[in-house]
Structure 1
Amino acid sequence: MNNTASDVQAMIDFLRTRYRDSIDTHENIFTAVANGQIDVEIGGSREAHTRIAHQSLRETESMLELFETTIVAHLGTAGPMGAIAEHQLRILARPFM
């Protein structure tokens, strides 16, 4: 598969948007759980559900940071780092293609 620079940029933009949307969703869930706007009748305390929602938010933020610093930052560079970064980008984008 030959990807052009615009294909690579489209994958970057798509994944950034997905990560940012996921962060927004997790942030909204965390806030709603913490503020009592979401009922937590299904096992566990509000505190436990708040911790889980907070962890999900932090995991998603970490994924975006990992994506930006270890993949996007190395795309287009010569040598193995650039090739690995492009391969990782393709792996992350593959489920959506």
Structure 2
Amino acid sequence: MDDSTQAMVGFLRDQYRRRIEMSESLHNGVITGRIPALDGDRRQHARFILESVREAQSMLELFETTIVAHLGTAGPMGAIAEQQLRILAQPYL
């Protein structure tokens, strides 16, 4: 894996982890009342935010198992993983 590929992997890992941390913090804030609930329904708002936590966790797991695990490998899997990495990084470039 070359330096630019490693940089993209590190950057995307950080983005997914920050998204998880931010969503967990928001969830905690809604649960404890530090953040007002949307439409006054604390449980519904907390459930909505918890879905964001799970989504971000799933994205990180998907990223690690289907892309990072195949980067630098020979053949089509390595090429596909490289292409997927670049597609995921594209919005940040």
Q: 1:33 aligns with which of 21, 24, 30?
A: 30
- Report how many residues are paired: 93
1:14-60: per-residue Cα shift (whole Å, max 9, x none)?
101111111110010011111111111x4251110010010011101
State the shift of 1:79 in Å. 0.7
Structure 2 segments unaligned to the other structure (5+ residues): none
**Aligned-pair identity (%):** 56
Structure 1 segments unaligned to the other structure (5+ residues): none
TM-score by length of 2: 0.94
In structure 1, the partner of 2:84 is: 88
In structure 1, the partner of 2:67 is: 71
State the shift of 1:78 in Å. 0.9
Distance 2:46 2:29 in 1: 9
Distance 1:16 1:48 in 2: 29
TM-score by length of 1: 0.91
Q: 2:44 aligns with which of 45, 48, 53?
A: 48
Q: 1:21 aligns with which of 13, 18, 33?
A: 18
Query: Stretches of 4+ moved more than 6 A in 1?
Result: none
